[in-house]
Chains A and B, each alone.
Chain A
Amino acid sequence: MIRSTIRHIALAALILCLASSIAIGAVVVDTAAKPPATVCLACHGSQTGPGGIPVKPWQGSVHAAGGIGCQDCHGGDPKDAVNAMSPARGFLGVPAEQGIPAFCGRCHVGILEDYLKSAHGRALGKGGPTCVTCHGSHEVQKVTLEIINEKRCSACHTYERAARIKAAMQEVERNLVRIDGEITRLKQEGVDTDAWGKQLFAVRNRYHRLFHNVDVALVRKESAAIRGELDKLDDFLSRTDEERYRRKIAGAFAVGGFLVAALLAHLLAKSYD
């Protein structure tokens, strides 16, 4: 009786072990990505006054998501608390209003060029808008067409021309977002989308350069050309989807064939029994 109980306890332990056994290895832990720890964030993050204001908006910005930290724009040494804001370490601080386009344009070179050519850029220093007027500073987000809106544009001039530009660009924007989503989906399914991704990147850049243009006719002409480029991409994507659909049809025949053959084998086995 005792031996039997011991045996049962041993077996119970075995089954519980089964729950945690199987193989040694493949131990994977959470590896949540953490933003780089910089002295800028450590110091400004704990400030309650004006110095602490940029931290939260930056954390939710497209710059933070892309790994662009304080020092990338403002310079300085993000690893040395004592000399973090030393000009000797490249600290630039906050730019003057007229210096903002050049400040942002160190990275956004093409956009700076377009901006300076536009009516907005030509009015720099004469009451015209700078980058932060429309995009904000630390809270900057990935740009969409929604940035052109009556409230924002009407703050300086009438909305009519901006509305016509927006209308011309709307279909392009819709197609860009849709094709981007399609490419992401196919990439996540193992399709080699590198070439399409590069094409889309080029088309998107071409589209983004329209944002700083205020010539309605040119925007319409460029939008039509971009739509043509996007249609070509769309065609490639449709063909990929069709191919995948054909695979499913072939798969249905294969699975159906296996099931019918399994049934036949079963019936044949029954007849032998």
Chain B
Amino acid sequence: MNPLQKLHTWIDVRIGIDALLKKELTGYLLPRNINAWYSLGSILLVLFSIQVLTGILLLVYYVPDAEKAFQSVTFIMNQVPFGWLFRTCHAVGSNLMILALFGHLLSVLFMGSYKSPREFNWLSGFVLFNLVMGISLTGYLLPWSQLSFWATTVATNSVGVVPVIGEQLVEFLRGAKSVGPPTLSRFFVLHVVVIPATIAGMIGLHLFLLKRTGVSLPPFGLSDTRNAWRGEQYRYEDHPDGIPFFPNFALRDLSSILLYLALFGTVVFFLPNLFFPAQAFVPADPFQTPDRIKPEWYFLPNYQTLRILPSELLGLAVQGAAMTFLALLPFIDRGTERHPLKRPLFLTCCICGILTFVGLMIWGHYS
């Protein structure tokens, strides 16, 4: 027995690593008709890891002080070896993470994977989605540029339309009457401690729920695509004739992750300023309002919705109602059918919704 085998046996007899690997990797069976959309979860995990890693590297040099924040980011971009790379990766990563989140959400929606008994999976995913939006918004302020300063000013202003407590809410968010050093401190703590820790916890919960309910069967290539679970008792959805997670699906996952990383690399190296307008490189000046500030692409539909509705309060109310509705979707949609083509009205509405969403985004961009 060579030393490596000896070490392996030494560990195995203590913690049963062989049995664990068999259970979680080679013996963990997934549906035979599983598709590439199921890899979006793994892609999101990789992107979150990249964000954490690049975020830690940025933290080494970033100074969360209104007087020094912009200079420290400029220093990272120009003086720190490979600083430009990890800052660009961090910024591009946040955008591509949201893109992957949209893909994940839509795939779950189209394949009816949110249906019972996966209400908690959907809810935890919904919370994660909002947390990622929140971490993006708080991170936006940290470079202390004209773009971040004014975008945050107007974003926090919008809360002021909430009746009765609006003004207090704005002050609570900013830590002062207007955006300033206390806002930067708050957003910094939220961005680097509170939200990432909550995201990590929610990812753990999301994966735990996935393990408890089992992977959902894709509604494609089957004669009966209805949801078989009747709610009598807890059931783990296993797939005895499925494919093992390792190596079969792990390799497919890896292929999808690498493809996404190719897209990531293309943006980082060839379109590094795709998400950085010129105002992002001008230091914040509270006395100089830029001509026109636009939010990031993923907030453009919100932006445009608020602009086309007669009042901001109505706009916020519509969005709040929509978010509540989206969160409660599995409790509203109790139908058993999961195949999108067997739900023609749902499919039509879905496509119209996506077109409207993209339309509002484009409208918001050019308005």
Contacts and interface: CB of A to CB of B under 8 A. Distances in A.
Co-assembled chains A and B: yes
B332 to A, nearest CB: 5
Contacts of A258: 258-259, 261-262, 265
A248 interface: yes
A24 interface: yes
A124 to B, nearest CB: 38
Given A187-B281, A190-B276, A265-B255, A21 B322 contact: yes
Residue with the greatest number of chain B CB neighbours at <10 A, chosen from A21, A192, A247: A21
B353 A23 contact: no
A192 B157 CA distance: 32
A70 to B, nearest CB: 21
Contacts of B319: 20-24
A81 to B, nearest CB: 25
Contacts of B251: 265-266, 268-269, 272
* Interface of chain B, main secondary structure: helix
B265 A255 contact: yes
Interface string B76-118: 0111000010000000000000000000000000000000000
Contacts of B265: 251, 254-255, 258
Interface in B186-216: none
Contacts of A252: 269
Interface stretch (A8-16, A55-63, A97-105, A152-160): A8-16
B179 interface: no
Contacts of B321: 17
* Interface of chain A, main secondary structure: helix
A28 B152 CA distance: 8
B298 A15 contact: no
Interface residues of A, number: 51
Contacts of B335: 4, 7
B133 interface: yes
Interface stretch (B51-59, B61-69, B302-310): B302-310
Contacts of B290: 31, 33
B31 interface: no
The 4 closest A-B pairs by CB, nearest first: A251-B269, A15-B353, A17-B322, A26-B299
Given A19-B354, A26-B302, A27-B155, 9 more contacts: A8-B346, A19-B356, A20-B322, A23-B137, A23-B302, A29-B154, A33-B289, A262-B259, A273-B243
14 contacts: A14-B349, A15-B349, A18-B326, A18-B354, A19-B360, A22-B302, A24-B316, A28-B294, A31-B293, A32-B292, A188-B281, A189-B272, A190-B280, A258-B265
Interface of B: 74-75, 77-79, 84, 130, 133-134, 137, 140, 150-151, 154-155, 157-159, 243, 247-249, 251-252, 254-256, 258-259, 261-262, 265-266, 268-270, 272-273, 276, 278, 280-281, 289-296, 298-299, 301-303, 305-307, 312, 315-316, 318-323, 325-326, 329, 332-335, 345-346, 349-350, 352-354, 356-357, 360
